[in-house]
Amino acid sequence: MWIYGAKRANHGPYNVTLDGRVFTDDGFRDGELFQQVLFAAVDLDPTRPHTISITNSLADAKRPYLDIDSVRTLITWMGFDGLKVVGDRQR
């Protein structure tokens, strides 16, 4: 799973919670970058559901923004014939 967004001078810290585990990062960048990976998680257990959230921590009033452009997931499931099928979905 990948979360993409912008990094800019007015973007601040944010938290990502995946299955109860919290990760902290910062969207600050001198200048502007778009479609940057804000968070990535690979090798997730495909046999169970996962819960993810991203929250703007609003820790700095001068950097109040968090932009999310898209979320990309890689879905693995078993087909009717028992073959492993892997799909890629971006929204």
**pLDDT tens for each residue of 59-88:** 999 999 999 999 998 765 555 555 554 555
Q: Which domain holds residue 69?
A: 2-90
* Angle, vertex CA 12, rays to CA 7 and CA 15, nearest 5: 100
At residue 45, the pLDDT reads 87
End-to-end CA distance of the chain: 12
Residue the block writes with tokens 């257990």: 45
**pLDDT tens for each residue of 6-30:** 999 999 999 999 999 999 999 999 9
Cα separation of 89 and 74, whole Å?
6
How many domains does the structure of the chain reveal? 1
What number of H helices and E strands is found in the chain? 0, 7
Is pLDDT above 70 for 5? yes
28: burial class by Cβ within 10 Å (0-12, 13-18, 19+)?
Answer: middle
At residue 75, the pLDDT reads 66
pTM: 0.79
Query: Tokens for 79?
Result: 């087909």
At residue 66, the pLDDT reads 97
Is pLDDT above 70 for 91? no
